[in-house]
Amino acid sequence: MHLRDVMDLLGGEAAWGLDLLDGIPVVACFAADLMSDVLAFAVPGALLLTGLVSIQAAHAADVAELAGIVFVAGKRPAPPVLDLARENGTPLLVTPLSLYEACGRLHAAGLPPGVRA
Amino acid sequence: MSEAAPEILYSERWTIRGGDFDHGGEVAAAVKVILRQFGLPATEIRRLSIANFEAEMNVVMHADEGELLLEVLPDRARITLADRGRGIPDLGLAMQEGWSTATPEMRQRGFGAGLGLPNIRKNSDEFAIESTVGSGTTLRYAVRFAI
């Protein structure tokens, strides 16, 4: 599965990185609003689903080497977050779905949890 | 006879401002760029970057100001982060996962889960912390890599 498939499954759109979506495979997902959880438990290459649209979400994705971020519940990242994602090459998706429903759809589509053992 | 001091290949300092959430994470990002330039292993860069981001956010959330010193040695990257702030009264508690003094605002920013210091220790091969209440906290940690 690639990021474009994720976008389609979630009825979402790209806030940044539309051109990258076909080239980035997604093999696992991690969902959290606490970035310390992301830093502690997400595996490299996981896709992050979160309701946190602060700049720290984009920093966490870069530091933890994540595949990209899906912002849920229709939340949109502000320009500084978009700028940082562009600088780091981190694709950003937005979906109107809740965190619960977005996770449910991706799990049902076969994406496993990207949690460190 | 004393052992010769290890060779420091590179060092740089950054200032971190307390309360500056808008820029919290920039120092960890800058350090990561330098570690990549040295061609260090990706796994070790990730570990140190996670530790740096947590440590930087700790200063943003809990201190007035901090200074992060990066030193790259032939076999390790070493960080010293000294902050000026209120310090930590009980280091034993602060090192426990889940223990937090974060405010609701900090949690809204995605931090304050009580994982900061444990995360730093988990992602480093050397770790030491000293704190004086009313004065500040100094963290020293390092990630080793194969030569």
Pick among A33, A36, A55 to test the B interface (most B CBs inside 10 A):
A36
Residue A79 maps to which CATH number?
3.40.1390.20
Determine, yes or no, domain membership for A33. Answer: yes
- Tokens representing B134? 């009313």
Residues on chain B touching A31 (C-beta within 8 angstroms): none
Give a yes or no: residue A84 inside a domain.
yes
Q: Please tell me whether residue A117 adopts helix, strand or coil conformation.
A: coil
Query: Considering the domain boundaries, does residue A82 fall inside one?
Result: yes
Nearest CA in chain B to A61: B50
Residue A63 within any structural domain of the chain = yes
Based on the structure, what is the number of domains in chain A?
1
The shortest CB-CB distance from B111 to any of A35, A44, A80 is to A35
Q: What does residue B55 show for φ and ψ, rounded to 5 degrees?
A: -65, -40
Q: Where are the domains of chain B?
A: 10-144
pLDDT digits (tens, 9 = 90+) for A65-110: 999 999 999 999 999 999 999 999 999 999 999 999 999 999 999 9
C-beta separation of B77 from B126 below 8 A: no
Q: What is the ipTM of this complex?
A: 0.91
With contact defined as beta carbons under 8 Å apart, do B113 and A34 qualify? Answer: yes
Residue type for position A111: L
Q: Would residue A114 count as lying in a domain?
A: no
Residue range(s) defining the domain that contains residue A21: 3-108
So what's the architecture of B10-144 in CATH? 2-Layer Sandwich (3.30)
User: In chain B, which residue ranges form alpha helices assigned H by DSSP?
Assistant: 26-37, 42-62, 91-94, 104-108, 116-122
pLDDT in tens, B33-56: 999 999 999 999 999 999 999 999
Counting Cβ atoms within 10 Å, is residue A8 exposed (0-12), middle (13-18) or buried (19+)? exposed
